[in-house]
Amino acid sequence: MLDPTSRYANLETATLTLPDGRVAAYKRRRFIPAGNALKVLAEVTVTEGDRLDLLTHRTLGDPEHFWRVCDANDTLNPFELMRETGSVVRIAMPEF
pLDDT attached to residue 3: 79
Kindly give, in sequence order, each residue whose CB lies less than 8 Å from that of residue 65, ignoring residues fewer than 6 positions away.
Answer: 5, 56, 94
Q: Which amino acid is at 7?
A: R
pLDDT attached to residue 96: 60
**Domain 32-92 fold:** Membrane-bound Lytic Murein Transglycosylase D; Chain A (3.10.350)
pLDDT attached to residue 66: 93
pTM (two decimals): 0.77
Q: Where exactly are the structural domains of the chain?
A: 32-92
Kindly give, in sequence order, each residue whose CB lies less than 8 Å from that of residue 91, ignoring residues fewer than 6 positions away.
Answer: 40, 41, 42, 43, 44, 55, 59, 60, 68, 69, 72
Please report, in tens digits, the pLDDT of each residue of the chain (96 residues total). Answer: 677 778 877 889 999 999 999 999 999 998 888 888 899 999 999 999 999 999 999 999 999 999 999 999 999 999 899 999 999 999 998 876
52 vs 55: CA distance, rounded Å? 5
